[in-house]
Structure 1
């Protein structure tokens, strides 16, 4: 019994600390955060790897095409060695994994772009694909994107990057759009009654309740709604059952 309780506690802690990986395949946007507008794409920067070799990197997740040698892959991260004129695909949009610290925290997340070119060094673990892992922090600082390190795994050669993007909404929340639409509709209805009443009073000489535009329609509207509801639940049948049901 004690072992079962401890097992449940361990599983609960693991679930709390585990990263949240939403079902996102878009290389630019996921879970309310986006690369759009954070940089001017394609974004170029230079950095040294662990062997002090300087490379130029090109990053473009939001549709701007990258020329990375003769590859036909949808490149997101390209590594360029100007001394040798070589191009290496670090990550492509055909393989994207988003991971957040947890489901409610969108200020710390990683984006992994896979399907990179394979390594040519077979001395350690053989040919393995490259992939770019971008660790992102949403802060009040200016945007930044830097190379961090390379990590050789048994399954991939990871190029790790650190990025800062400014805080703030990346788009208009759906709730705001709904509120705006409701306000527009209410405003239109109010203008309809105000302008219509003025026209009825001044032009047509209506008085009393008759100044309401289309008064007969609004008076009959509740009964029209009632008839519509009855028709929905009792199609093709009159109130006196005069006609046969289909």
Structure 2
């Protein structure tokens, strides 16, 4: 019986463990929700245009400038209105993130000339995931990925470049009042509360049914009306034995040398 009680405590500890961090579960390409009904929803930001962010980088001792333009559209994929006529361009289909790279070369007259640029596909809404805290959306593209940080801001929706240190793990930041934590669904009863209500309802039903059975069918009086009185009386010892068995790594105590007593100290009955 002590072994059984030990497993019960392990099960309850797993269910109610505070170490089980709540995660924002993806409900759609731009929506995730925590267990309490709060979450993030970028749906109001979606329209028929891309949000853009640009950055210049000087190369070759200033004789070249690389212009990078990032296009981002949350929630669903649309076709970017950019020139994608080159064979190497990969932004000719609906998508969520695209990058346009254009190199400006300084010629002898002191004027920068464009090389025509190229466009690189970086992700779609169908191949994306929310990070556990819900404050970032990661778009996968083969070995590469692009992460969009959701920044709560009381401003117009705006896209910024956060980090380009890792070429295969670029990080953008999307500023919006719709990037704030909000109530996604009306708050309801948590899983823990539901389990407690069910547990105590079962306990009350068990006690009422047991008392009525022993009193009216078996004629018990006093403490004898408590169902399984011997078990409840011995419960503290059973809990103690169960915890001792659990803490010992589910190992039985070593067999004592000499004459074997009855019951065997390594048997189930001895627990």
Question: TM range, normalised to the smaller chain?
Answer: 0.3 to 0.5
Larger RCO, structures 1/2 (Cα 8 Å, 6+ apart): 2
TM-score (norm: length of structure 2): 0.42
TM-score (norm: length of structure 1): 0.45
